[in-house]
Chains A and B, each alone.
Chain A
Amino acid sequence: MKFVKKPIALPSSYRFFYQISIFLLILEFCCPKNKGASTFKLQLLAWALRDDEGCKSLMEVTKLKQFKDNFKFWALDPALNRAIAFALADGFLAIDNDKIISGPKGDALLLYILGADVFIDEKAILKKFGKSVSENFISTVLKNEKA
């Protein structure tokens, strides 16, 4: 007798090209030109895209520009760090001045993503966040979390 392992379904957020696309969209919509983003920023915004609740609470916090007690810290997802590492190795992302920026293949991929009919919801949400989630803001979140 032989047992065959059945392949399991995987959430889209565990796919390389889903996360890479999200990172590039974050860099495009939510970061100053050519300045890039910290891993925390990528983590935070990618986390906010996971479910409506996270997105809503982050939106509220950025609007108030201060923390409310009910803002729960996001989860730092090791899967996202893996995604960043793979994307760096494959040339979709690069590192510049300790910040993550779009890599040599990233610009071409981003142009495709922006023009193609994909990730409509994600684009709309990230565009709405815009530059409101700044690096300063992130460091405040981190400090607040430690306190």
Chain B
Amino acid sequence: MKKLNITAIRITTYTKDKPFQFEASFESKLNIIRGDNAKGKSTLVQSIFYVLGQEELLGGKNSKVMQSCLRKLIRNDEENEINVLGSSIELQIYNGIDVVTLKRCADLDGTDDRLIEVTFGGALSNKDLAFKKESMFVHDAGGATNSYHGFHKWLEEFLGWELPSVASSGEKEIKLYSQLVFPAFLIEQKAGWSNYLATSPYFGIRESKKRAIEFLLNLDVSQNEKAKRQIEAKLESYRKEWQLIYDEIERLITSDFIKIVGLNRNPHTNFDPNEINLVYEKDGVYCNLHERINKLEQDLKYIELINLPTNNEVEDELNQKLEELLFDIQNLTDEEDKLRSFLALEHAQKRDRQETLKEIEKEIEKNEGALKVKKFGATLESALAAGNCPTCHQAIKDALLPLDIRAIPMSIEDNVKYLKGQKKIFLSYIESCFKTVADLNNDLKRNRKLQDETRERIKEIRLQLTADPRMPSIINLRAQIKQEEDIKKFIGFIEFFNKKITEISTIHYSYKLALEEKKNLPQNGLSQNDKQKLNSFSGIFRGLLRKFEFQSCNIEFIKISEESYFPIIDSSELFNEMLRTDSSASDFVRVMWAYTIGLYLVSEQYQANHPSFIFLDEPAQHSMSDKSSWELFDSLSKISCQTIVADSFNQNDQNFIDTTKGIDFNLIKFDGLLLKRIGGLVND
């Protein structure tokens, strides 16, 4: 099991004279950074985020997020301001096996903020030794995915992480960014205490917080979700292969008044190769293709037996036949025109309906989004969410319509139901369109075939009528040849068909297996093991809340949700419930403490992916009681995880003494300002 351990830091700020510097070493237990406000504590905290390539948690990219003392102006102990030429931050980290040193510059001329230099050794504790170095890009398209020169990719490997691919807002899957996992244990003072993983940057990953927790606790559900997606993809590819073969059969065979019976275009589980037949259907004849071949063979024998009449003998008959055929061809072309215009109409309708369906689906998504946000808004004591006017507190409708419109709008819930109804209607519309188009296409194909045949016969008769009247009529001879051809063709069809049916049988077998696999996956995705993990998380979380003197509600009813992986009470979100009951602000922070530490403890218990590192910036928010703060330090000092706490202790020595009494920790303290001139004072 790899971990993350910070062993030393060095911050150097360059000026035209000697640089300013801060150096400290950390131990693999509780470390307390003690510094007064406005003396550089935030600089130190931000530097650690920055050098780990996690500055997006502070709300920006590259050195823009860093304090001005590293980039613009620095104060010396005499309160003079001096121009800064840029800074460099070096951090020595240890993963339980290797020590490396990261170095990243901020606004330093001749260096690139987007680069982190990785030194493969402890450069800060062994200043005389030379180690191999490599520069890696932090923010670059593909930084997380490209194995070459990508810092985040390297960091993942260093931490022994294998970040999963997850669903994004687009179609494709993308890898979970490490910046989405770090907010679970790297908690910054400004926004970090407002919510779980509050500082997660937006990367377009669906339910990114859930995915991060799943990864940290190594839940099988992510595997299951992935397996589910893979099976779906497999099913889809079988469906495509099946359709391809079906289309191939249809293209080759069904054009000749032959239909496939017992086989659908989409895979069906009840498929049985013995129940599938080619059926011949023409001029009121309906039979198996085998039977048709037999019939043709018999007819052929009969034709061979009779004598052929002369042209003269059949002339009247031929003339009459020609009339009929010319009439037929007229009808057929009329019919074709009609079919074509129907088809064009149906195509246009299908397109329109598909557009509308897309609009409806988008609208459903928007409405559902608005509903979710409204529900959350209710926890913020929003008058609008409660259906009241924020100014006059009278009931108003949830509509931005002008006041003089008297219509009664549906509630969003009803609106969603209404839209879902519309969606169903349109889906069935579109389905029927597809069916009509397919039917029309078949009709058209049949029509074309008939026309060809009729024209062929007209040509034959005309030829016959102009031929020598004493010669034997070859019309019947032609019929005979055609029948022979048909027999050969039909036998070819059957051979081809049987071959394709064997192929489909193979697909059918794999398709059934994939369906079976899908059935075997756990229903809500959580495995037994996952449930156990979340269950022990609940236990640990309650224990910690009790230790931190959480008061807002009955701790017994709190557990970790199997849906969101966040604490719930009586199936409603714990934070929402606390907001509703107007709990004290410090209790929110206690929940955050318990959640952050609990996450580590569960991961440790099950050897999951937590890097055994917790960084808390000003955890004693909202006039936290000394007793609770002591309990926090006590817990942090007793877990086998490196913990770093940056705290100003209300700028009060007594507070520091009271909250750390009897606790084993490494103190990192700076008197006055964080950054001091190397070699002491010079005149500026």
Residues of chain A at the chain B interface (Cβ within 8 Å): 5-21, 33, 78-80, 82-83, 86-87, 89-92, 105, 107-109, 111-124, 127
Contact = CB atoms under 8 A, between A and B. Distances in A.
B204 A15 contact: no
B390 A91 contact: yes
B401 A14 contact: yes
Contacts of A111: 191, 194-195, 198
A113 B374 CA distance: 10
Contact of B206 (A11, A33, A120): A120
B204 A123 contact: yes
Interface string B368-392: 1111111011001111110001110
B373 A21 contact: yes
Given A90-B382, A115-B200, A109 B419 contact: no
B59 A92 contact: no
Contact of A90 (B170, B208, B371, B390): B390
Given A90-B382, A118-B368, A122-B366, 18 more contacts: A9-B409, A9-B415, A10-B415, A13-B366, A13-B400, A14-B401, A15-B412, A16-B398, A18-B370, A21-B370, A87-B384, A105-B381, A107-B194, A109-B373, A109-B376, A111-B191, A119-B369, A120-B204
Contacts of A120: 169, 204, 206, 365
Contact of A15 (B170, B209, B381, B399): B399
B342 interface: no
B59 A33 contact: yes
Nearest to B363: A12
Contacts of A11: 363
11 contacts: A5-B407, A14-B409, A16-B400, A17-B377, A17-B398, A19-B400, A79-B401, A105-B380, A113-B373, A118-B368, A120-B365
A108 B191 CA distance: 10
B410 interface: yes
Contacts of A86: 384, 389-390, 400
Nearest to A81: B400
Contact of A112 (B367, B376, B410, B411): B376
Q: List the 9 shortest-distance A-B pairs measured between CB atoms, nearest first.
A: A118-B369, A12-B366, A89-B390, A90-B390, A18-B370, A79-B400, A17-B374, A120-B169, A7-B410
Interface in B376-434: 376-377, 380-385, 389-391, 398-402, 407-412, 414-415, 418-419
B400 A119 contact: no
B207 interface: yes
B373 A17 contact: yes
A109 B377 contact: yes
B557 interface: no
B327 interface: no
A138 B419 CA distance: 36
Contacts of B418: 9
A61 B419 CA distance: 34
A118 B200 contact: no
B207 A117 contact: yes
A interface SS class:
helix
Contacts of B482: none
B400 A82 contact: yes
Contacts of A116: 372-373, 376
Given A15-B399, A108-B380, A127 B204 contact: yes
Nearest to A16: B384
Contacts of A5: 407-408
A21 B371 CA distance: 11
Nearest to A90: B390
A10 B197 CA distance: 35
B435 to A, nearest CB: 29
A79 B377 CA distance: 20
A130 B195 CA distance: 25
Contacts of B389: 86, 89
Nearest to B362: A121
A114 B194 CA distance: 14
A124 B374 contact: no
B251 to A, nearest CB: 36
A86 B373 CA distance: 16
Given A15-B398, A90-B383, A116-B372, A123 B365 contact: no
Contacts of A18: 366-367, 369-370, 373
Contact of A119 (B208, B366, B384, B391): B366
B202 A123 contact: yes
A8 B366 contact: no
Contacts of A10: 399, 401, 409-410, 415
Nearest to B418: A9
A22 to B, nearest CB: 10
